[in-house]
């Protein structure tokens, strides 16, 4: 059983995915796409993929990233928390990650800060029902 827990800590990461989308509460944020940076850490048991060397046994980060890009570029959220939650749902419900850590940042959103954002972590059970 402890081996299963250890494998569940396997992770795939996608760093600094730079996208443009609508997120924000101010009128000017709602009318013009802005820079959004997304980081993902996808957790699961990747032992089978490691042994088989077969993409069918893997969590396909290329497909996940493609769906994240499409979602961010076509969606509209008021809060980065809402966007992060939607991306977490996509990763665990649609793509089968056991757990995901999602960081969404808005570079330059605050004067004197390089970026502002939120980081959340969700499991499949968080979206049950």
* Domain ranges, ordered by start, for the chain: 2-127
The Cα 57–Cα 8 span in angstroms is 15
Reply yes or no on whether the pLDDT at 6 is more than 70: no
At 116 the pLDDT is 94
The Cα 107–Cα 35 span in angstroms is 7
Reply yes or no on whether the pLDDT at 79 is more than 60: yes
At 3 the pLDDT is 45
What mean pLDDT, rounded, does the chain reach? 92
At 25 the pLDDT is 93
Q: What does CATH list as the number for 2-127?
A: 3.30.1130.10
The pair phi, psi for residue 63, each rounded to 5°, is: -65, -45
Starting at the edge strand found earlier in the chain, the sheet holding 115-123 runs 76-77, 10-23, 34-44, 99-107, 115-123
Reply yes or no on whether the pLDDT at 1 is more than 70: no
The Cα 9–Cα 17 span in angstroms is 22
pLDDT digits 0-9 by tens, 87-129: 999 999 999 999 999 999 999 888 898 999 999 999 999 998 6
| Residue 8 pLDDT level (bands cut at 50, 70, 90) | low
Average pLDDT over residues 70-98: 97
């Amino acid at each position: 059983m402890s081996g299963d827990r250890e494998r569940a800590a396997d992770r795939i990461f996608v760093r600094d995915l730079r996208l443009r989308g609508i997120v924000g509460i101010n009128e000017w944020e709602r009318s013009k796409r802005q820079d959004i940076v997304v980081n993902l850490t996808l957790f699961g048991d990747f032992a089978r993929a490691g042994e088989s060397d077969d993409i069918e046994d893997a969590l396909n980060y290329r497909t996940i990233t493609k769906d994240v890009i499409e979602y961010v570029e076509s969606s509209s959220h008021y809060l980065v928390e809402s966007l992060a939650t939607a991306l977490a749902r996509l990763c665990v419900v649609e793509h089968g990650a056991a757990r995901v850590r999602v960081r969404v940042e808005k570079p330059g959103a605050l004067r004197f800060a390089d970026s502002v954002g939120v980081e959340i972590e969700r499991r499949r059970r968080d979206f049950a029902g």
